[in-house]
């Protein structure tokens, strides 16, 4: 039986989502250890977004095949009981056998948070990057508009040996000024390695007037990582949501007054 998991985590203590041989400190590794204990056999779980070391998730999505006859809610409770306190299973549901968290995802929303005043903000310090400087958000928004859409994002890719296509579509890139912080909201069909953090680092430089908003086309055209800004620190980044056609259909059905919807 195929199960879908929605997961929140504070990534501060971890070497990222993806299981690694050299360390036990990965989110995937921790969840697999508890699932394997529950199932009394090795279990693999596939996550939609392979978040890097130090990156957080408000709602990561994953799936795993379990023989378990347990109810989803029972599985959720079991996992939350044995997982560390910085990983939380928000929801477990049975899904169609064809559901794959990564290949089935049609989009993701990431948020990057920048502390702009000189507050340390002791209660939120682990969930934002503290720049401690005001940013010109109008310039940043102009640059963001030039990055939205379908482009070859090779200049914003952290992997210089990337063989596959580096063309991606950003459907939303918003610069939101809030109290004490600037929030960057990224939505797109998929993101290259470090892409969001390089975009954030580049947009910060625009906001600091270190490069003009109008230079985005040049950076894209350069097809060269060194043309873009620095990779912004991991702690400011959070995977907020993963989008699936199934969820969108379900929402549309609800909005049209549609009734119950089978798994899909």
CA distance 98 to 231: 36
- Min dist. Cβ of residue 205 to its own copies (A): 24
Tokens of 57: 């998730």
- Annotated binding-site residue? 78: no
* Inter-residue contact 159 to 230 (CB < 8 Å): no
- 30-69 binders of its own copies (CB under 8 A): 56
Q: Does 5 bind its own copies (CB under 8 A)?
A: no
Q: What angle do CA 88, 125, 10 make, to 5 degrees?
A: 15
Catalytic residue among 10, 52, 117, 118: 52
- 70-129 binders of its own copies (CB under 8 A): 77, 80, 85-88, 90, 118-123, 125, 127
* Segment near its own copies (CB under 8 A); pick from 5-13, 47-55, 154-162, 226-234: 5-13
- Min dist. Cβ of residue 30 to its own copies (A): 12
- Min dist. Cβ of residue 45 to its own copies (A): 17
Q: Which residue carries 């995937």 as its tokens?
A: 28
* Inter-residue contact 13 to 98 (CB < 8 Å): no
Question: Is residue 97 annotated as part of the catalytic site, yes or no?
Answer: no
In 164-251, the DSSP E strands lie at: 167-178, 181-188, 237-243
Q: What SS3 class is residue 111?
A: strand
Nearer to its own copies, 30 or 211 (CB): 30
List the binding residues for substrate: 110
List the binding residues: 110
- Catalytic (active-site) positions: 52
């Amino acid at each position: 039986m195929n199960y879908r998991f929605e997961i929140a985590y504070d990534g501060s203590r971890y070497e990222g989502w993806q299981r690694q041989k050299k360390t036990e400190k990965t989110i995937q590794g921790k969840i697999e250890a508890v699932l394997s204990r529950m199932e009394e056999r090795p279990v693999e779980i596939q996550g939609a977004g392979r978040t890097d070391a130090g990156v957080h998730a408000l709602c990561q999505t994953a799936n795993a095949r379990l023989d378990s006859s347990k109810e989803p809610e029972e599985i959720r409770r079991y996992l939350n009981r044995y997982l560390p306190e910085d990983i939380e299973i928000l929801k477990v549901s049975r899904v169609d056998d064809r559901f794959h968290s990564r290949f089935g995802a049609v989009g993701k929303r990431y948020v990057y948070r920048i502390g702009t005043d000189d507050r340390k903000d002791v209660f939120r310090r682990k969930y934002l990057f503290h720049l401690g400087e005001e940013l010109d958000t109008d310039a940043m928004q102009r640059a963001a508009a030039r990055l939205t859409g379908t482009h070859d994002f090779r200049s914003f890719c952290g992997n210089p040996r990337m063989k596959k296509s580096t063309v991606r579509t950003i459907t939303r890139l918003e610069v939101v000024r809030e109290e004490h912080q600037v929030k960057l909201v990224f939505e797109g069909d998929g993101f290259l390695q470090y892409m969001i953090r390089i975009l954030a680092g580049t947009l910060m430089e625009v906001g600091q007037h270190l490069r003009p908003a109008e230079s985005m086309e040049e950076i894209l055209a350069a097809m060269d990582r060194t043309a873009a800004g620095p990779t912004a620190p991991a702690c400011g980044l959070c995977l907020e949501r993963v989008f699936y056609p199934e969820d969108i259909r379900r929402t549309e059905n609800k909005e049209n007054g549609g009734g119950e919807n089978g798994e899909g």
